[in-house]
Structure 1
Amino acid sequence: MSSRRSSITRYDTLPGSSLHQRVSSPLPAETGPSPTWTGAYTPLPTSPRIQPIVPSRQHEPPGPSARPETTPLPYAKLFPLVISRMSEGLIYAVIFPYINEMVRSFGVADNKVGVWSAAAESALMVTEACCAPLYAPIADRLGRRPIILVLIFLFGVCAIAFGFVKDVWSAVIVRACIGLLAGCGVLSRTMLAELCDKSNRVQGFAVFSPALTVGVTIAPLIGGFLSEPVPRILPPSFTLFVRYPYLLPAMVSGSSGIFASVLGSFLLPETMPATLRRRPSRGEDGLEKHRQSGLRQLVSYAPFQDVIILYSLNNGVMFSWEAVYPLFAFTPKHLGGLGMSPQEIGLVLALGAFLSIFMTIFIFPLLHRSIPENQYLRLCLSAYPVAVVFFPILWGINYAAEGRLPLLGWTILVVQMVFRRFGDFAATMLDSIVMDAIPGPEHLAMANSLTFSTAAIGRALGPFIISWIFSVSTTFASPYSLGRQIVWIIMALLSLPSIWLAFRLQDTSEGDSKESEETHELMRVREETSASVNDLSIPAL
Structure 2
Amino acid sequence: MVVLCCISLIDCINATMLNPYVDEFVSHLLNRRRGDPGISIWVSVMVGSYSLCEVLFSPMWGMLAERFGRRPILLLGLAGSAVAPVLFGLADSYATALAARLLDGFFCGNVCVARTYLGELVDAENEAWAFGLLGIVFSLGLFVGPILGGTLAHPAAWAPGWFESTIFEGHPFFLSNLIFACLVACVFLLGVVALKETRGPTEREESFLAAPETSQARWEPNSVERRGLWRLLTVSSILYGYVAARLNSFVLVSSLPRSMHGLDVSPHQFAYIQTFAALMLALNQVTIYPFLVKRCGAHTSCAIGLLWTIVLTLPVPLLFMTADVEQASAWRLVPVAIWQGLNQLGFGTAFPLLAVLLNKECTRRNRAVVNGWSNSLGALSRGLGPVLAGALMHLGCSLESGDLRLGRYLSFYVNLLPASVSHLRCGL
TM-score interval, smaller chain: 0.7 to 0.9
Residue equivalent to 2:227: 302
Could you say what secondary structure the match of 1:424 adopts? helix
Q: Which has the higher contact order (CA 8 A, sep 6+)?
A: 2
How much does 1:427 deviate?
A: 0.4
Residue 460, structure 1, aligned to residue 377, structure 2: no
Preserved CA contact (<8 Å) 1:217 1:353: yes
Q: Can you list the C-alpha shifts for 1:5-46, whole angstroms capped at 9, x where unaligned?
A: xxxxxxxxxxxxxxxxxxxxxxxxxxxxxxxxxxxxxxxxxx
Distance 1:224 1:391 in 2: 30
1:257 maps to 2:181 = no
For 2:297 and 2:12, how far apart are their aligned partners in 1?
29
| Structure 1 pair 198–413 and aligned structure 2 pair: CA distance change class (3 A) | closer
Residues 1:417 and 2:338 are matched in the alignment: no
* 2:272 matches 1:347: yes
CA distance, structure 1, for counterparts of residue 150 and residue 273 of structure 2 = 10
The structure 1 residue matched to 2:137, chosen from 211, 215, 228, is 211
Match of 2:58 among 132, 138, 159: 132
TM-aligned CA distance change 1:207 to 1:122, over 3 Å = same
Structure 2 counterpart of 1:430? 354
CA distance in 1, matches of 2:323, 2:156: 31
Q: For 2:404 and 2:36, how far apart are their aligned partners in 1? A: 20
TM-score under structure 1 length normalisation: 0.67
CA distance in 2, matches of 1:298, 1:200: 32
| 2:425 corresponds to which of 494, 498, 504 | 504
Aligned length: 422
TM-aligned CA distance change 1:167 to 1:337, over 3 Å: farther
CA distance in 2, matches of 1:479, 1:252: 51
The answer to whether residue 65 in structure 2 is matched with residue 142 in structure 1 is: no
Match for residue 243 of structure 1?
170
Q: Which deviates more, 469-478 or 219-228?
A: 469-478
Contact kept, 8 Å, 2:154 with 2:168, in 1: the verdict is yes
CA 86–388 in structure 1, closer or farther in 2 if over 3 Å, else same: same
CA separation of 1:117 and 1:361: change in aligned 2, threshold 3 A: farther
Aligned ranges 1:14-33 → 2 under 5 Å: none
Shift of 1:268: 0.4
Q: Displacement of 1:185 after TM fit?
A: 0.7
1:209, distance to aligned residue in structure 2 (A): 3.5
Runs (5+) with no aligned partner, structure 2: none
The answer for the alignment partner of 1:85 in structure 2 is 8
2: CA distance between counterparts of 1:278 and 1:363? 42
Pairwise CA distance, 1:279: 2.8
Q: CA deviation at 1:305?
A: 0.7
Q: CA deviation at 1:365?
A: 1.4
Give the corresponding residue for 1:374: 299
- Preserved CA contact (<8 Å) 2:153 2:173: yes
| Counterparts of 1:243 and 1:330, CA distance in 2 | 33
**Distance in 2 of aligned mates of 1:238 and 1:384:** 51
Matches within 5 A, 1:99-248: 99-103=22-26, 106-107=32-33, 117-165=43-91, 172-232=98-158, 235=161, 237=164, 240-248=167-175
Normalising by structure 2, we get a TM-score of 0.83
Once the two structures are TM-superposed, the CA of residue 500 in structure 1 deviates from its matched residue by 2.6
Q: Which runs of 5+ in 1 are unaligned?
A: 1-77, 508-541
> Aligned pair in 2 of structure 1 residues 501, 352: CA closer, same or farther (>3 Å)?
closer
Task: Find 1:314's aligned residue among 217, 239, 245.
Answer: 239
Of 369, 372, 382, the residue aligned with 1:446 is 369
> Which of the pair has more CA radius of gyration?
1
CA RMSD for the aligned pairs? Answer: 3.6
Whether 1:361 and 2:282 are equivalent positions in the alignment is no
1:56-71 maps to which residues of 2 (within 5 A)?
none
Q: Greater CA deviation, 382-391 or 259-268?
A: 382-391
Task: State percent identity of aligned pairs.
Answer: 19
